[in-house]
Structures are given as structure tokens and as C-alpha cells.
Amino acid sequence: MSESLSISNQEVPSALGCQVPQFSAAMTNNGQFELNHYLGKKVILYFYPKDNTPGCTTESIAFRDIHPQLLANNSVIFGISRDSLRSHEGFKSKLELPFELISDTDEQLCQLFNVIKMKNMYGKQVRGIERSTFVIDESGKLVKEWRGVKVADHAKAVLDFVNI
């Protein structure tokens, strides 16, 4: 992992400064996300556990509200979870999200970015997405990551980072 991101189940100290491998995935609005289509822009990928849950709704609304400022900073944003495209379409419509959501039902992107963790829910261990956000620069390199994100003020921290 010293030179590039790769699919791995091992704990990765950091992939900052590494080139992100080209990937594609299904997204809302009958789209296909292709990382190389966004070269020249900062790409923000936020991984969240599940559509229509309180924290994920709050986080998505916060990103919706700063979307114009992200665009003004040459940045695009995409939400990613293991939910189906159908679920994503409903979530996106309900919240009036101006950006697309990527469906990762096969967990390939979750593995690529190492965001699947064992978590405690109601006293039980469950396997799920650790809320995380990644910024890929204009040349395709990973330049910032937040893991174990707390929703409060996170969108502002992302905006502050891309504002530099």
C-alpha cells in the first residue's frame, strides 16, 4: 500500500498522496461514475452507512447545503453506501440532493477505501460502513481522509479543506 490504493481487508495506516485507481460504479440518475471523468476537479467521496437513517440524513443535508460552495471551489461530491440504486433514488429525491449517490452493493469501493468495520449496534457486533470522507485532487491523488466521522460540523471541515 506504499505506492497506491488497493483492495485490501488489512488496516491501512494511510494512502495519502497515492494515486487512486480508476474505478466505475452505478450511480443515481441512470449514471455511471468513472473517476477519470473528473480529472481536473477535486472529487469528494463520502461513505455513509444507510439511506434514510438520522445521521446519514443529517450529513447528506449538510453536504446539500454547501454544494454551491463546493462547485465554486472546483469540487464535485458523491455519497456512497451499500444501498441499492432504488433506495438511493428515493433518498436523493426526498432530500433534494443536487449531487449523485453511488451504489456499492458489492462493497468493491468500501474495500478499496477500507471503510468496512465491525461496529457495536444495540450491544451486538455488526459489520458496516465506518462513516468516512475522502478528497481526491485534480490529478487523481488522495489528499485528505476523515475516518470515524462525527456528523456535526463535518461538511464545514470538508469545505474548509477544499477552500485552501
Active site residue ranges: 56
SS3 per residue for the chain: CCCECCCCCCCCCCCCCCECCCCEEEECCCEEEEHHHHCCCEEEEEECCCCCCHHHHHHHHHHHHHHHHHHHCCEEEEEEECCCHHHHHHHHHHHCCCCCEEECCCCHHHHHCCCEEEEEECCEEEEEECCEEEEECCCCEEEEEEECCCCCCHHHHHHHHHCC
